[in-house]
């Protein structure tokens, strides 16, 4: 049981609404230069989650009354058990998968559509873009990543699923209202006639520290900061990885953010002692669309 | 002995024509008490026309996020949208409503309860706007799984929970026999291509009976009055077609797929 650190504000635990699964660990088919947990084909610091591990967590989650489930990595579709995992999850509640889109071929998209039709709960797919076109996106993600992500979007759309496209602030001008409208037009030009868009904050951790910069000493919360638990996902969410339960998806490289082996272990307040907590506090980072 | 029957509806959104039609329909169907779960103003014209009707139809009303904001003279509705376009439209609707709502009505809104508990036959019933824990929480059918609803009901210590705020009606009976009903709204259509609006009729008995009543009203007249008031054409289009043109980004995947836009 970690003690509260008096130097930092504490976020209370309000109840487990959101459960994340680091379903592909830190293994990815890309090596993005802005990845806050430095995912890569050879990064095994967190391993793939297997079906029994997810089922155990789901049992606990159902008992605790979890509202929604998110799957990330790494690249979730690299986990061979992902479809079985999603099928089990969609019996318990809505599921969202965060993907780079590269593995979304027509066959997988058709399977996803069948999963969606078989559940009364929502199945949502989020595809990441880091720019308006290949020149920005591929500089961060690697050759042909943009075109392959767009192909994945189209495959989902053609299968009858409408993905949420998540765009980091790295896409020039996307954060403003006008930039957002232009980006929606860009998505329409790919054939997504009813585009859905979510703008993401960058966290200056992992690979992003080397691409951009790390956090400045001033970018930290102090005990004098008044926090709003409603704006912080750590007040109502947790992250399951192969190494235990962490407070959030952002801090899985920090042992101090590991709160236990089971969900029940993790249902307690947390000291916002990490610079990334400053980003969440300032920007009100939310999992929701 | 006759069963107790109540009518429960959500967001009036200044649609005073629908409010009048719904109240008459509910009385005709034998509802002896009418409840409104808040958000009296928003997209529609002439917000001041709602209050005399609530009075004459003896509607029991609780606060929605609109009433909380207007009573506190806040400059935003706290609807809880995350998308800039949705927020822009929400701001337009709120500014119009705030300007046209009499000060006395805003004071009255501050006196309304945030939630209401009632015994309904042998069941306990709780009415709230968004959820029992937050006035602007969106409880959608496709993202409110049974285990989560069980937790909400446990925390709120009730067997039946009635909410609104999302604009889309649904009813889930939990395996343990408890119920959660999102009663939808009467201020605009339910994003289904129909111009009627919907509310819930609850009848107590061995099994709780939840029935939806779809009510037609003079929606063309409302649209004309909205145009005369220079209310955004996107809101008028929804009234005339039954399809939402705004507040779309907050929708989960399944609900989004059911609409036109």
Q: How confident is the model at residue A200, as a pLDDT?
A: 87
**What are φ and ψ of residue A129, in 5° steps?**
-125, 150
Is the separation of the CB atoms in A42 and A225 below 8 Å? no
Dist. CA A8–CA B220, nearest whole Å = 57
Query: Token pair for residue A204?
Result: 């200056």
Dist. CA A269–CA B107, nearest whole Å = 38
Nearest CA to A172 out of A215, A132, A218, A114 is that of: A132
- Chain A within 8 Å of B142 (Cβ-Cβ)? yes
At A144-191, the pLDDT tens digits run: 999 999 999 999 999 999 999 999 877 888 888 889 999 999 999 999
Dist. CA B255–CA A94, nearest whole Å = 12
**Long-range Cβ contacts of A256-263 (<8 Å, 24+ apart):** A256/A2, A259/A2, A262/A60, A263/A16, A263/A19, A263/A57, A263/A60, A263/A61, A263/A64, A263/A238
Nearest CA to A20 out of A276, A206, A237 is that of: A237
**Long-range Cβ contacts of A144-148 (<8 Å, 24+ apart):** A145/A30, A145/A100, A145/A102, A148/A101, A148/A102
Q: How confident is the model at residue A133 (pLDDT cuts 50, 70, 90)?
A: very high
Share of chain B above pLDDT 70, in %: 99
Q: How confident is the model at residue B84 (pLDDT cuts 50, 70, 90)?
A: confident
Dist. CA A251–CA A243, nearest whole Å = 13
- A233 by Cβ neighbours in 10 Å (0-12 / 13-18 / 19+) ranks as buried
User: Is residue A220 predicted with pLDDT exceeding 50?
Assistant: yes
User: Is residue B104 predicted with pLDDT exceeding 60?
Assistant: yes
Share of chain A above pLDDT 90, in %: 85
**What CA dihedral angle connects B72, B77, B81 and B86, to 10 degrees?**
-160
Calculate how close chain B gets to A63, using CA atoms only, in Å: 7
Q: Which range has the top average pLDDT, A6-15, B142-151, B246-255?
A: B142-151
Dist. CA A12–CA B63, nearest whole Å = 27
Dist. CA B95–CA A258, nearest whole Å = 46
Is the separation of the CB atoms in B93 and B235 below 8 Å? yes
Q: Which residues pair with A42 in a beta bridge?
A: none
User: Is residue B9 predicted with pLDDT exceeding 60?
Assistant: yes
Query: Token pair for residue B17?
Result: 């024509």
At B139-169, the pLDDT tens digits run: 999 999 999 999 999 999 999 999 999 999 9
Least confident of A273-282, B24-33, B134-143: A273-282
Dist. CA B36–CA B48, nearest whole Å = 16
User: What value does the mean pLDDT take over residues B110-127?
Assistant: 97
User: Is residue B21 predicted with pLDDT exceeding 90?
Assistant: yes
Dist. CA A20–CA A68, nearest whole Å = 9
Residues 149-178 of chain B whose Cβ lies under 8 A from any Cβ of chain A: 149-152, 154-155
Q: How confident is the model at residue A4 (pLDDT cuts 50, 70, 90)?
A: low
At B198-233, the pLDDT tens digits run: 999 999 999 999 999 999 999 999 999 999 999 999
pTM of the complete model: 0.95
- Best residue in B65, B148, B256 for a mutation probing chain A (most A CBs within 10 Å): B148
Dist. CA A275–CA A20, nearest whole Å = 21
Calculate how close chain A gets to B143, using CA atoms only, in Å: 5
Dist. CA B259–CA A244, nearest whole Å = 40
Q: How confident is the model at residue B81, as a pLDDT?
A: 86
Query: Token pair for residue A276?
Result: 């990334």
Q: How confident is the model at residue A1 (pLDDT cuts 50, 70, 90)?
A: very low
- Best residue in B91, B131, B135, B143 for a mutation probing chain A (most A CBs within 10 Å): B143
Q: How confident is the model at residue A3 (pLDDT cuts 50, 70, 90)?
A: low
Bridge pairing between strands A164-168 and A123-129: parallel
Q: What number of other Cβ atoms are within 10 A of residue A250's Cβ?
A: 24
The answer to whether A162 contacts B249, with C-beta atoms less than 8 Å apart, is no
Give the position of tokens 């029994």: A52
Contacts of A17 in chain B (CB under 8 A): 148
At A18-28, the pLDDT tens digits run: 999 999 999 99
Share of chain A above pLDDT 70, in %: 99
DSSP class of B217 = -
Q: How confident is the model at residue B1, as a pLDDT?
A: 46
User: Is residue B30 predicted with pLDDT exceeding 80?
Assistant: yes
Give the position of tokens 């917000």: B47
């Amino acid at each position: 049981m970690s003690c509260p650190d008096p130097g930092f504000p504490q976020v209370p635990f309000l109840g487990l609404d959101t459960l994340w699964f680091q379903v592909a660990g830190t293994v990815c088919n890309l090596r993005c230069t802005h990845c806050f947990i430095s995912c890569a084909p050879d990064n095994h610091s967190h391993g793939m989650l297997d079906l029994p591990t997810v089922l155990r967590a789901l049992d606990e989650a159902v008992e605790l009354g979890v509202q929604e489930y998110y799957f990330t990595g790494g690249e979730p579709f690299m986990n061979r058990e992902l479809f079985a995992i999603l099928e089990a999850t969609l019996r318990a509640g809505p599921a969202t998968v965060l993907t780079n889109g590269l593995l979304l071929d027509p066959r997988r998209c058709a399977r996803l559509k069948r999963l969606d039709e078989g559940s009364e709960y929502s199945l949502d797919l989020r595809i990441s873009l880091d720019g308006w076109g290949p020149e920005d996106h591929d500089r961060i993600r690697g050759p042909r990543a943009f075109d392959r992500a767009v192909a994945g979007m189209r495959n989902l759309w053609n299968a009858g699923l409408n993905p949420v496209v998540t765009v980091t602030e790295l896409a020039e001008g996307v954060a403003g209202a006008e930039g957002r409208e232009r980006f929606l037009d860009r998505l329409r030009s790919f054939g997504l006639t009813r585009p859905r868009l979510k703008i993401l904050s960058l966290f200056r951790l992992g690979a992003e520290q080397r691409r951009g910069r790390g956090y400045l000493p001033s970018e930290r919360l102090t005990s004098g900061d008044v926090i709003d638990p409603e704006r912080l996902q750590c007040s109502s969410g947790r992250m399951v990885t192969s190494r235990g339960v962490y407070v959030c998806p952002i801090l899985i490289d920090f042992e101090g953010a590991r709160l236990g082996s089971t969900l029940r272990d993790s249902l307690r307040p947390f000291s916002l002692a990490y610079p990334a907590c400053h980003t969440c506090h300032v920007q009100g980072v939310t999992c929701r669309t | 002995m006759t069963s107790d029957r109540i009518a429960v509806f959500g967001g009036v959104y200044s649609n005073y024509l629908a409010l009048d039609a719904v109240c008459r329909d509910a009385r005709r169907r034998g509802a002896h008490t009418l409840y409104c779960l808040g958000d009296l103003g928003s997209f529609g014209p002439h917000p001041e026309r709602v209050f005399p009707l609530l009075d004459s139809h003896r509607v029991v009303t609780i606060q929605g996020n609109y009433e909380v904001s207007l009573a506190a003279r806040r400059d935003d509705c706290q609807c809880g949208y995350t998308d800039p376009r949705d927020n822009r439209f929400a701001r337009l609707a709120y500014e119009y409503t705030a300007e046209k709502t009499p000060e006395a009505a805003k004071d009255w809104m501050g006196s309304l309860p945030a939630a209401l508990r009632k015994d309904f036959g042998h069941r306990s019933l709780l009415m709230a706007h968004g959820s029992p824990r937050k006035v602007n929480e969106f409880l959608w059918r496709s993202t409110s799984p049974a285990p989560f609803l069980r937790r909400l009901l446990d925390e709120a210590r009730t067997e039946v929970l009635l909410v609104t705020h999302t604009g889309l009606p649904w009813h889930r009976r939990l395996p343990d026999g408890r119920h959660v009903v999102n009663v939808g709204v009467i201020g605009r259509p339910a994003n289904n291509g129909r111009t009627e609006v919907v509310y819930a009729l609850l009848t107590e008995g061995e099994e709780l009976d939840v029935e939806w009543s779809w009510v037609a009203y003079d929606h063309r007249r409302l649209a004309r009055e909205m145009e005369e008031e220079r209310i955004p054409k996107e809101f008028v289009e929804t009234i005339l077609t039954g399809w939402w043109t705004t507040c779309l980004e907050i929708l989960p995947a399944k609900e989004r797929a059911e609409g036109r836009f």
